[in-house]
Amino acid sequence: MIHCSVAELDEALMSPIPEVLEVVRNLQGPVVILGAGGKMGPSLAGLARRALDALGRSDPVIAVSRFREAGSRQWFHDRGIETIAADLFDPLAVAALPDTDTVLYLVGLKFGTSQNPAVTWAANTLIPAAIATRYCRSRIVALSTGNVYPLVSTSGPAASEDHPLTPIGEYPNAAVARERIFEWHSRSNDTPMVLVRLSYAVDLRYGILHDIARRVWLGQPVPLATGRFNCIWQGDANAMILRMIPHACHPPLVLNLTGPEALSVRDVALELGRLMHREPHFSGSESDTALLSDTRRCRDLLGDPTTTVDDMIRATADWVSQDRPSLGKPTHFEVRNGIY
Ligand SMILES: NC(=O)c1ccc[n+]([C@@H]2O[C@H](COP(=O)([O-])OP(=O)(O)OC[C@H]3O[C@@H](n4cnc5c(N)ncnc54)[C@H](OP(=O)(O)O)[C@@H]3O)[C@@H](O)[C@H]2O)c1
């Protein structure tokens, strides 16, 4: 991933490993990806498409989103992925969605919550309820977030799936509600589901490593108060999301999904600085809590992510210092009060 172009990055994110092919081989009918127009949906849809193509299968991959960004639908069409432009707040649009055995749910709303908390709550509760009802006979792998946990001690155990869901802030609590609504539908209708508590997918165009690297590159201080974090290569996260499909069950299987290491913001910034020949500047100091997930359940089921932290850091340093594109969607990893 050093010196790669956007096209080569997409290629790397969409190349199916044998374990993905094995799962996709057993899927039947269309794969429907809801909320596909965001940061993860394109490469996840691309991975599913590539896997089906590699197996000689023409079952459609259908990306559903509002596609508010100009040109975003074309990206899918160019790769053989069908699209449906739909606002999932609209009951008629939900009713018209295609039947399928396999739903990947990526819809979410986080940023802008402090300006309009009502829409965050609505997006993260009403849409899950509508989708869980519409697809009560399907398998649903629904993305959640590590934000459902409160901050935990950086010297103590990370949050396992059994940790109380008592975060602060409206977005994290709306994310808890998103999970509980899926869970309730799963329990009520025996709908098989997986709830995926993802923390920090790393693409080179966005993500926590991208954010730290840009600050170092631009000479901006790197905030240290949230001094530790987990992250996972987006290609690994996408592969794991597809590999979770056969594990859907009722009540839902809940899995933390991220890298196993609790990385230090300071150490990562220093390493990025070394690679980019820039001296990092810091602000504040490390507090003794952070959002950290225990990923043993997921790793026991699916193994470790294959992309190393070292590889992600090197590729990010190269990407940012070569002035390659940014999505301009910062993670705001420094936020500690749940206000986004
Ligand atoms: N990326 C990460 O590192 C990360 C980390 C933790 C958790 N997650 C979770 O993983 C999921 C996917 O992540 P992401 O980064 O791809 O999220 P994202 O960039 O926010 O994408 C979600 C997409 O959902 C679509 N959407 C929102 N409201 C909709 C509506 N009313 N009707 C139809 N589509 C709607 C939007 O696309 P349109 O504008 O095209 O409609 C939006 O871009 C999110 O739910 C998030 O909670 C992601």
Predicted model pTM: 0.98
In a domain, 157, yes or no: yes
- What's the sign of the alpha-carbon dihedral 294, 298, 302, 306? negative
Q: Is 317 in the pocket of ligand 1 (CB under 6 A)?
A: no
Q: Is 94 in the pocket of ligand 1 (CB under 6 A)?
A: no
Domain range for 61? 6-203+233-260+291-305
- The confidence score (pLDDT) of residue 115 equals 92
In a domain, 1, yes or no: no
pLDDT score of 3 more than 90: no
Q: Is 52 in the pocket of ligand 1 (CB under 6 A)?
A: no
- The confidence score (pLDDT) of residue 1 equals 79
In a domain, 220, yes or no: no
In a domain, 174, yes or no: yes
H helical segments located in the chain = 6-13, 18-25, 41-54, 72-78, 91-95, 117-134, 170-189, 208-218, 234-244, 265-276, 296-302, 309-321
- The confidence score (pLDDT) of residue 2 equals 82
* The dihedral formed by the CA atoms of 257, 111, 263 and 245, expressed in degrees to the nearest 10: 10
Q: Is 172 in the pocket of ligand 1 (CB under 6 A)?
A: no
Q: Is 213 in the pocket of ligand 1 (CB under 6 A)?
A: no
Q: What is the 8-class DSSP label of residue 148?
A: G
In a domain, 338, yes or no: no
- What residues form DSSP beta bridges with 196? 143, 255
H helical segments located in 96-199 = 117-134, 170-189
- Cα–Cα distance list, 119 to 85, 114, 159, 174, 332 (Å): 20, 10, 28, 10, 20
- State the distance from the centre of ligand 1 to the C-alpha of 155, rounded, in angstroms: 32
- State the distance from the centre of ligand 1 to the C-alpha of 39, rounded, in angstroms: 7
Q: Once rounded to an integer, what is the mean pLDDT over residues 155-169?
A: 96
- The confidence score (pLDDT) of residue 114 equals 87
| Structure tokens given for 175 | 């994310």
How much is the mean pLDDT over the chain? 97
Tokens 């991959």: give the residue: 61
- The confidence score (pLDDT) of residue 132 equals 98
Atom number, ligand 1, closest to the C-alpha of residue 107 = 24
pLDDT, tens digit (0-9, with 9 covering 90-100), for 125-143: 999 999 999 999 999 999 9
In a domain, 56, yes or no: yes
Contacts of 281 (CB under 8 A, 6+ apart): 219, 220, 221, 222
- The confidence score (pLDDT) of residue 99 equals 98
Q: Once rounded to an integer, what is the mean pLDDT over residues 14-21?
A: 98
Q: For the chain, how many structural domains are there in total?
A: 1
**Percent of the chain, pLDDT > 70?**
100
Terminal C-alpha separation, the chain: 31
Q: Is 108 in the pocket of ligand 1 (CB under 6 A)?
A: yes
Q: Once rounded to an integer, what is the mean pLDDT over residues 62-75?
A: 93
- Residue 179 sits in a domain of what CATH number? 3.40.50.720
- State the distance from the centre of ligand 1 to the C-alpha of 106, rounded, in angstroms: 5
- State the distance from the centre of ligand 1 to the C-alpha of 126, rounded, in angstroms: 15
Q: Is 24 in the pocket of ligand 1 (CB under 6 A)?
A: no
pLDDT score of 67 more than 90: yes
pLDDT score of 31 more than 90: yes
In a domain, 279, yes or no: no
> Which of 34, 47, 66 should be mutated for ligand 1, with most atoms under 8 A from CB?
66
Q: Is 70 in the pocket of ligand 1 (CB under 6 A)?
A: no
Give the residue, by CA position, lying nearest to ligand 1 atom 15. 39
- Cα–Cα distance list, 121 to 112, 137, 219, 334 (Å): 12, 25, 37, 22
In a domain, 222, yes or no: no
**Other CB atoms within 10 Å distance of the CB of residue 57:** 14
Distance between CA 80 and CA 74 in Å, rounded? 10
Atom number, ligand 1, closest to the C-alpha of residue 108 = 45
Q: Is 40 in the pocket of ligand 1 (CB under 6 A)?
A: yes
**Other CB atoms within 10 Å distance of the CB of residue 310:** 9
